[in-house]
Structure 1
Amino acid sequence: MRSKLFFLLLISHCVFSQSNFEKAEKLYDQGKYSLARPIFENIYKENPSQIKAIEYLGDISVQLKEWDKALGYYQKLKNIKPNEANYYYKYGGVLGLKSKEGGKWVAIRLIGDMKESFEKALVLNPKHIEARWAMIEYYLQVPALFGGSEKKAQRYADELMKLSPVDGYLSKAHIDEYFERYKSAEKHYIKAIELGGSKNTYERLASLYKVKLHNSDKAKKILEQYQEKNKS
């Protein structure tokens, strides 16, 4: 009888924990990060190896721009699952955000670990799309003195082209845009639209027209084309 009661209590606890997790997850999806956080924290306290709760806590810290907290959570994830590429990618991403906000000297201190994290993600998962995007941004933003290079950025764009042609064209357009080669960027964005046709591809071309070429009418027309194409 006692063992049966224990089993029922255990099942009840698991259901309650699952219910709390789903509630926190829903709050997170709604952008209510401050409300989701204490629920995930309680789940984490009850089970310090609950990977998904730790990841959500890291993601919430990123959304709230609490870089050191986010790094702490992602470091825990790397310790628990050292072969999971995405945790290295997220860790490197936070280092990038922290360096961007912290200024020149903070960036100099962090860029080595940032690059190492993205490269580790690619070693663990050679098909990791986001880590390649991160490396492209890294080589565009880092000064040449510290290894910045368009040639190296283009190399990762070429790799993206093989893994995902849409991402390949978008990344090449991004590089062109960075160096103010707007005509070439436009051609690559149009190619991405032809291949993928996602909202993201249209929005990137519209942004080029509006922000860089100061042509709001053309930007509006591109977005209208997307809406017309995707009428239900």
Structure 2
Amino acid sequence: MKQIYYIFLLLSFYGFSQSNYELGKQYFNTRNWEKSIVYFKKSLAENYKKNESIEFIGDAYGQQKDWDNAIENYQILKESFPKNANYWYKYGGALGMKAKESNKFKALSLIDDVENAFLKAASLDKKHIETRWALVMLYIELPAIIGGSEKKAQRYADELMTLSKVDGYLAKGYIDVYFKRYQSAEKNYIMAHKTGNSKTTFEKLYDLYLNKLKNKEKAQQLKNNFEL
């Protein structure tokens, strides 16, 4: 009888933990970040799906632009699982967003950590597309004096090309737009759209025609063809 009691007790505890985790996911999926954090913290306290709960908590804080708390949670994960590329990527991303919203002196103190986190993620996972996008953007947006480099950005755009033609063309188009090489950007965005034919590829090419090349005719033609 006592053994049956303990079995029911364990099953009840498991069901309760699962309920908190699932509730956290439900609130997360409906973008109720604060409530999702509450339930994921309950799940964490019960030691149920601990790593997943911490990651969701970090993601929810990130959605609220609470970078310090997001960084804290991702740091726990990347220190616990130092070979997980995605944790390093998320940690670097949160650091990068904090740097963008900080004053210049604070931002400068974070840049090396941002770069190192992305480079670590890239070395751990040779197929991690998001990390390579992050490195393209980082090296293009940084001034040369603190590490910015088109050559480095192109290197990761080339790596993207080997992983995903669409992402490769989009990354090269992004670099061209940044340097106002609009004719070259058009070629890359056209190839991206031919390859992917997605909302993202359409929007990049449409924006280039409308706002950079100031060619309303091409923009409208692209829109008409995409809607078909």
TM-score by length of 1: 0.91
Contact 1:49 1:80 in 2 (8 A): no
In the other structure, the counterpart of 1:129 is 129
Amino acid at match of 2:193: I
Question: Identity rate of aligned residues, in percent?
Answer: 47
Offset of residue 224 of structure 1: 4.4
Contact 1:85 1:124 in 2 (8 A): yes
In the other structure, the counterpart of 1:161 is 161
What aligned pairs does 1:1-232 form with structure 2 within 5 A after superposition?
1-47=1-47, 50-215=50-215, 218-219=218-219, 221-228=221-228
Output the CA distance in 1 between the equivalents of 2:71 and 2:216. 40
Contact 1:203 1:223 in 2 (8 A): no
Quickly say closer, same or farther: Cα 1:220–1:23, change in 2 above 3 A: farther
Contact 2:17 2:46 in 1 (8 A): no
Offset of residue 49 of structure 1: 6.8
Contact 1:21 1:39 in 2 (8 A): yes
Offset of residue 210 of structure 1: 3.4
Contact 2:176 2:184 in 1 (8 A): yes
Quickly say closer, same or farther: Cα 1:48–1:5, change in 2 above 3 A: closer
Output the CA distance in 2 between the equivalents of 1:63 and 1:213. 34
Gaps (5+ residues) in structure 1? none
Output the CA distance in 2 between the equivalents of 1:215 and 1:14. 61
SS in 2 for 1:102: coil
The answer to which of 114-123 and 21-30 deviates more is 21-30
Count of matched residue pairs: 228
Contact 2:135 2:153 in 1 (8 A): yes
Output the CA distance in 2 between the equivalents of 1:214 and 1:72. 45
Output the CA distance in 2 between the equivalents of 1:40 and 1:16. 12
Contact 1:85 1:120 in 2 (8 A): yes
Offset of residue 217 of structure 1: 6.2
User: What's the C-alpha RMSD, in Å, of the aligned pairs?
Assistant: 1.8
Output the CA distance in 2 between the equivalents of 1:37 and 1:220. 44
Contact 2:166 2:196 in 1 (8 A): yes
Contact 1:96 1:114 in 2 (8 A): yes
Output the CA distance in 1 between the equivalents of 2:58 and 2:31. 14
Output the CA distance in 2 between the equivalents of 1:119 and 1:2. 55
Amino acid at match of 1:111: I
Contact 1:206 1:222 in 2 (8 A): yes
TM-score by length of 2: 0.93
Gaps (5+ residues) in structure 2? none
SS in 1 for 2:57: helix
